[in-house]
A and B are shown apart, each in its own frame.
Chain A
Amino acid sequence: MTRLRLDGLGKRFGDVDAVKDLDLDVAEGSLVALLGPSGCGKTTTLRMIAGLESPTEGDILFDEESVLATPPEKRGIGMVFQRYVLFPHMSVAKNVSFGLRMRGVDRAEIDRRVAEVLEVVQLTGFGQRFPSQLSGGQQQRVAIARTVITEPRLMLMDEPLSNLDAKLREEMRAFITRLQRQLGITTVFVTHDQVEAIELADRIGVMFDGELVQVGTPEEIFNRPRTLRVADFMGTTNLIRGRLADVGAAGATLVTDVGAIRVAPADHLRTGAEATATVRPEHIDLLPRDDATGLPGRIVESVYYGGTLAYRVALGDLVLQVRDRSTRRFGDGEEVSVRIAPHHVWVFPEA
């Protein structure tokens, strides 16, 4: 298992900084997702780790040894591409054994390992087929098999699920998680899909405009985003503006135009500071109006999403989005009580 460290990594294309001063530490055997919108530099970062692009600044270290002078074929990495990139003129078995054949591994050993890895990716019996005879999901599993058979020090995945349909994507997510845990290969996974990153990764690095703006566990990134942009990128959220009061060991109060909201304790809270808080729609409880523990609100709109009800609730001028999984149902125009638990209210440390 290999530890990967990126130290002040940068890449400039002409006048454009594709990646800027990027520091990232990927622990042995862990899966880190680089998450960000198209063009944010995540694929360029991955290609630099693979050796397919040369950084203009910084260093890439495998187990604390720089690999900048090592050509891609000697880095011991495996890369899974968005468009699978199977060799169309080779059978599944030949595709999977490619890396071993290039290393001159003997025939019997190749046959044994191909059979083994095809079993792991649940493609036993597909060895003689050609890529054109496989479905998208099967092709991506062959691409993964082709990578893991070489026992790479590091596995790099560049949006490997984005060409699959929704159901297959879900199955493949579970498959990749299982495989990565089973093989324990240090993995960097690039995606623009926050759900994918949350489900797969041990840690997520969020990138915007070539910069890594936050690194943390999926739970940290989702519930405690550093900036508004991160919060927004991680999914629908509610923004509540106010002034902080009563900051202490028990937390703080966010005084807003629609009432006071309790906030869980955090180091960056300062009494009297203007603040913006974020609350996820699924973290807001709606109760009948006679419950006095919440803020008074009125249902503006309700939409049924199969198992979930999505509400727009007005609290004075503030309209909150709420996702309710309970069996209770409120009608449009109904008066309700809106309750938000303090540990679900997150005040941004940066505006």
Chain B
Amino acid sequence: MAIASPTRNRGHARWATWRRRAYVPVMLAPVVLTLGVLFFGSLLVALLQSFGHAPIYGITEFPTLKHYRSLFALPGFWASVGLTFYYAIVPTIVGTIASLYLALTLRRRFRGRRFVQFVYKLPLMIPYLVGVALTIVLFGNGGIAARTLFALGVIDSTGDFPRLIYSHAGWGVMFVYLWKQIPFTTLILYSVLMGLGKESEEAAVTLGAGRWQTFWHVTLPQIMPGVVSATIIVFAFNFGSFEVPFILGGGFPNTLPVEAWRAFDDADYSKRLRAMAIVMFIGVLSSAVLITYLAAYRRFERLRGRQ
């Protein structure tokens, strides 16, 4: 029979402690490394290029702010910033309100509820570009809507159809966003509502609260975490979205992501550094908005006693 020596026992204990401590970092390493290289690595490259470090294009001006200065001096730049916020904020707010209504309705018992629950999720499975194509087919000047109105005699020619796409009002852009994002937000809010149950609303009703009072004072505050999560994701996507405003937008001034693409795609490679400056600017603006939004929400939650 072997007798374990105290030295050997200490060695085993040290190895066990090391294994226990290393377990989590080792398990996380593949994800952390991939994310680190892909996200922080490319972010660092973009940052360095925006400050003039781009040896692959033969540019080594680092450090310089000239690409940022050229950006702010661009004609229509601030209009682009405004347009980017407009396309990001309006569909986020409209989509959240519509999703709230839809999620609350889906909680009720009605004939055909299961069918509606299936159908509303369909856009989630279809790419944005298909939505863009659908919008053109539906709302273009020669589209289905224009032809139908013309056939009904509402308009004299399909050319009289209001300009819903390729305009700065952005109806087409926002239609695509809402078509895709209402199902997404509804899915989140519906899950939160199902988790919440109906008891607190029933308690409110038995205490004399009407439907609107119950929603405003009881339901909404309790599903706020879901609303905040959904709006953050949707806003961040809309703010950085490129393909939808690129195809359906009204041209100059473009949104910031479209401007970044145009600069990046220019025959003059030095403009790629300006593209990186725009990318960094988009990141800073979007982060500032989301951090402010989250800080305001945390303050609101603290006032309600949540930590």
Interface: A306 (CB within 8 A)? no
Could you mark each residue 71-98 of chain A with 1 if its beta carbon is under 8 Å from any beta carbon of chain B, else 0?
Answer: 1111011110101010111110000001
Please provide the chain B residues from 53 to 70 with a CB less than 8 Å away from any CB of chain A in the complex: none
Q: Mark A231-269, 1 if CB is under 8 A from B, else 0.
A: 000000000000000000000000000000000000000
Q: Is the CB of B305 within 8 A of A102?
A: no
A50 close to chain B: CB less than 8 A: yes
Could you tell me which residues of chain B, from 235 to 287, have a CB within 8 Å of some CB in chain A?
A: none
Chain B contact residue count (CB 8 A cutoff)? 19
Closest residue to B209 on the A side, CB-wise? A102
Please tell me which one of the listed residues B205, B217, B222, B306 contacts residue A72 in the complex, with CB atoms under 8 A apart: B205
- C-alpha gap A79/B205 in the complex (Å): 10
Instruction: Supply 20 A–B pairs (Cβ within 8 Å), ascending by A.
Output: A52-B205, A77-B206, A79-B203, A79-B206, A81-B203, A85-B199, A87-B203, A87-B217, A87-B221, A88-B222, A89-B221, A89-B306, A91-B305, A98-B217, A99-B208, A102-B207, A102-B208, A102-B210, A132-B305, A150-B208
Chain B hits for A77, CB < 8 A: 206
In the bound complex, CA of A146 to CA of B208 (Å): 11
Q: Which of B202, B213, B304, B306 contacts A102 (CB 8 A)?
A: B213
Task: Specify which of A81, A87, A150 is in contact with B218 (CB 8 Å cutoff).
Answer: A87
**A283-323 toward B: CB 8 Å interface, digit per residue (1/0)?**
00000000000000000000000000000000000000000
Contact residue range for chain A?
20 to 34
How distant is A342 from chain B, measured CB to nearest CB, in Å?
48
Task: Say yes or no: A147-B305 contact (C-beta < 8 A), given A89-B222, A98-B217.
Answer: no
Contact assessment for B209 and A90 in the assembled complex, using a CB-CB cutoff below 8 Å: no
Query: How far, in angstroms, from A102 to B205 measured CA to CA in the complex?
Result: 10
The CA-CA distance from A73 to B221 in the complex, in Å, is 20
Which residues B206-229 have CB closer than 8 A to chain A? 206-210, 213, 217-218, 221-222
Closest A-chain residue to B207, C-beta based? A99
* B204 within 8 Å of A (CB atoms): yes
Known: A91-B305, A98-B217. A85 touches B200 (CB 8 A): yes
Instruction: Determine the chain B residues whose CB is within 8 A of the CB of A348 once the complex forms.
Output: none
Query: Which chain B residues lie closer than 8 Å to A175 at the CB level?
Result: none
With a cutoff of 8 Å between Cβ atoms, the chain B residues found around residue A88 in the complex are 222
How long is the Cα–Cα vector from A74 to B209 in the complex, in angstroms?
9
**Residue from the list A89, A130, A146 in contact with B207, Cβ < 8 A:** A146
Chain B neighbourhood of A85, CB < 8 A: 199-200, 202-203
Contact between A83 and B199 (Cβ–Cβ < 8 Å)? yes
- Complex CA gap A88/B307 in Å reads 12
Q: Which 7 A-B pairs have the closest CB atoms?
A: A130-B305, A99-B207, A79-B206, A102-B209, A85-B203, A89-B304, A89-B221
Answer whether residue A328 sits at the interface, using C-beta atoms and an 8 A cutoff: no
Map CB proximity to B onto A197-222 as digits: 1 under 8 Å, 0 otherwise.
Answer: 00000000000000000000000000
Once the chains bind, are B209 and A98 in contact (CB under 8 Å)?
Answer: yes
- Most chain B Cβ neighbours within 10 Å, of A51, A76, A102: A102
Tell me whether B208 and A52 are in contact (CB under 8 A): no
Q: Does A112 contact B (CB under 8 A)?
A: no
Measured CB to CB, the nearest residue on chain A to B218 is: A87
Cβ of B119 to closest chain A Cβ, rounded Å: 25
Binding site secondary structure of chain B: helix
Is there contact, CB below 8 Å, between A87 and B200?
Answer: yes
Contact at B208–A73, with CB atoms within 8 Å? yes
Task: Please give, as numbers and ranges, the residues of chain A lying within 8 Å of B209 by CB-CB distance.
Answer: 73, 98-99, 102
In the assembled complex, the CB of A75 is this many whole angstroms from the nearest CB of chain B, namely 8
Residues of A close to B210: CB separation below 8 A: 73, 102
Cβ of A73 and Cβ of B305 under 8 Å apart? no
Chain B residues whose C-beta falls within 8 Å of the C-beta of A146 in the assembled complex: 207
A103 CB-CB contact with B under 8 Å: yes
* Complexed CA–CA distance, A14 and B299 (Å): 47
Chain B's nearest CB lies how many Å from the CB of A88? Answer: 7
Contacts of A51 in B (CB 8 A): 205-206
Least CB distance from B204 to A in Å reads 7
Complex Cα gap A291–B89 (Å): 93
Complex contact A72–B304 (CB within 8 A):
no
| Nearest-Cβ distance from residue B239 to partner chain A, whole angstroms | 29
Report A129-172 CB contacts with B as 1/0, cut-off 8 Å: 01010000000000000110010000010000000000000000
Contact between chains at B206 and A50 (CB < 8 Å): yes
CB distance from A230 to the nearest CB of B (A): 31
Give the Cβ gap from A53 to chain B, nearest Cβ, in Å: 10
The interface bits of chain A over 312-343 (1 if a CB of B lies within 8 angstroms of the residue's CB, else 0) are 00000000000000000000000000000000
Q: Roughly how many angstroms separate A81 CA and B205 CA in the complex, as a whole number?
A: 13
- Bound-state CA distance A19–B135 (Å) is 53
Cβ distance A152 to chain B, nearest Cβ, rounded Å: 9
Q: Closest Cβ of chain B: how far from A131's Cβ, in Å? A: 9
A143, chain B: closest CB distance, angstroms: 8
Judging by beta carbons under 8 Å apart, are A98 and B305 in contact? no
Interface residues of B in 37-80 (CB under 8 A from A): none
**CB pair B207 A52 closer than 8 Å:** no
What is the bound-complex CA distance between A251 and B304, given in angstroms? 68
Asked if B305 and A52 make an inter-chain contact with CB atoms under 8 angstroms apart, the answer reads: no
* CB of B231 to closest CB in A, whole Å: 18
A132 to B200, CA, bound (A): 15
Which residues of chain B in 174-206 are interfacial with respect to chain A, using CB atoms and an 8 Å cutoff? 199-200, 202-206
